Structure 1
Amino acid sequence: MVVSARATIRPPAPSKIKILATADELFYQEGIHTVGVDRIIAGARVTKATFYKHFRSKDLLIIAYVEGRDRQARDWFAEQEREADDPKAIVRALVDSVNADAVQPGFRGDPFINAAAQFADENHPVRVAVTAHRDWYAKHMEELFRRIGHPRPGDAADDLILARDGALAGGYVGDPIAAGAALRRALDRILAES
């Protein structure tokens, strides 16, 4: 009898999903270091034993949070690429998405930059997870600009990522409309180089 790989993959326990959802909301809204395990346990409505069954430490939960945000970003790009074969449309959709997020209530900037800012040691597992995401993101953006036909796709990716980071920070601490307009102008300049 052959057992498919699909049959051996079990979905995460509902309690684990509740813990991750609660941590995702609280870590993003209030900051990783300000939210304690007891608060997550209370918010998820699980027992302490259940929490520690799924996450042996808060650091492991934080890494799962960062990796979950990474999966969301990868899924977003995968969906965009299924819907549009035009890489210019994808980078424009990215800018539109950043601008739409920045004006939402509860917007707190980039979750990866926020997480990295709370861990000074670049070798800490949380920083390693953030770096892995940003490395993937940069390579993915470079490939999009390569498909667009930009003469320097790596530089174009770097320029847009820096503008995006600035718009996310500016949208949080300043005027999100102005930050979004600046991000759109930056993308227009980068695309004009193609």
Structure 2
Amino acid sequence: MVGRTRPGDAGAKVLKAASTLFYRDGIHAVGVDTVAAEAGVTKAALYGNFGSKSRLVVAYLRDRDRRWQEQVDAITAGHDDPRERVLAVFDAYEAWLSRDGYRGCAFLNAAAEFPDPADPVREVVRHHKTALRSYLRTQLERAGSDRADALAEELLLLLEGTTVTSVVSRDARPFSVGKRLAETLLPAPGEQAPGTAR
């Protein structure tokens, strides 16, 4: 019937509203009443779909992780060279942050609000960062680096530092600097690591 909201629609509306509000205003600062009002649904519909605010927060972060991965895939898909794929992650970060008004990394923001390492929110944050580190390591291995694990850690730290600097300055330029620094860490194009098969 026209004008009626299907159950699945209510959940999608709540998730969309929560994503906007949690990221913009902070998770603890936003109550379920505000999310429900923004979504145009009742609190009963919100709880019927997510059960609690805690579960809604986890769903919000998982959804953001999924969308972030889609963006990384879209930006890196045009590069066959694993070295270029690594550098394209800096482009993905820049595009994501500038689009969202330089509010920072949603996962680090959430981690700051949920200090208990056993909290389910922290588990989603760890999953997101671990997956990114694994992606970098895989590309570095494909590029022939003999220290892919350590280098992935260094690049992740460089990405996070670049993100913070960009948020503080509300400017995309730190990503250009970070990308140039990353280039100096990566194996040169066509260069094979010592001891790799020829």
> Structure 1 length normalisation: TM-score?
0.86
- Aligned CA RMSD, in angstroms, stands at 1.9
Measured in 2, the distance between the counterparts of 1:29 and 1:190 equals 34
1:89 aligns with 2:91: no
Question: 1:191 Cα shift?
Answer: 1.6
Measured in 2, the distance between the counterparts of 1:62 and 1:76 equals 21
Measured in 2, the distance between the counterparts of 1:144 and 1:94 equals 11
- Which sections of structure 2, spanning at least 5 residues, go unmatched? 1-6, 192-198
Which residue of 2 is the match for residue 9 of structure 1? Answer: none
Question: 1:81 Cα shift?
Answer: 5.5
Task: Single out whichever of 115-124 and 129-138 deviates more from structure 2.
Answer: 129-138
Which residue of 1 is the match for residue 161 of structure 2? Answer: 166
Which residue of 2 is the match for residue 156 of structure 1? Answer: 151
Measured in 1, the distance between the counterparts of 2:152 and 2:49 equals 37
1:107 aligns with 2:131: no
Amino acid at match of 1:140: Y
Measured in 2, the distance between the counterparts of 1:156 and 1:117 equals 26
**Structure 1 residues 94-139: Cα deviation after superposition (integer angstroms, max 9, x where no partner):** 1122223444462211111111111010000100111112112211
Partner SS state of residue 186, structure 2: helix
**Structure 1 residues 158-190: Cα deviation after superposition (integer angstroms, max 9, x where no partner):** 111111111111111125244223311221111
1:127 aligns with 2:122: yes
Measured in 2, the distance between the counterparts of 1:97 and 1:87 equals 15
Which residue of 2 is the match for residue 188 of structure 1? Answer: 183
Task: Single out whichever of 130-139 and 69-78 deviates more from structure 2.
Answer: 69-78
Question: Contact between 1:103 and 1:171, CA under 8 Å: does it hold in 2?
Answer: no
1:66 aligns with 2:66: no
Task: Single out whichever of 66-75 and 92-101 deviates more from structure 2.
Answer: 92-101
Which residue of 2 is the match for residue 26 of structure 1? Answer: 21
Measured in 2, the distance between the counterparts of 1:80 and 1:182 equals 19
Which residue of 2 is the match for residue 13 of structure 1? Answer: 8
Question: Contact between 1:142 and 1:154, CA under 8 Å: does it hold in 2?
Answer: yes
Figure out how many residues of one structure are paired with residues of the other and give that number. 183
> Structure 2 length normalisation: TM-score?
0.84
Question: 1:84 Cα shift?
Answer: 3.1
- Which sections of structure 1, spanning at least 5 residues, go unmatched? 1-11
**Structure 1 residues 75-97: Cα deviation after superposition (integer angstroms, max 9, x where no partner):** 23443554432212222221122
Match of 1:41 among 36, 41, 49: 36
Seq. identity, %? 34
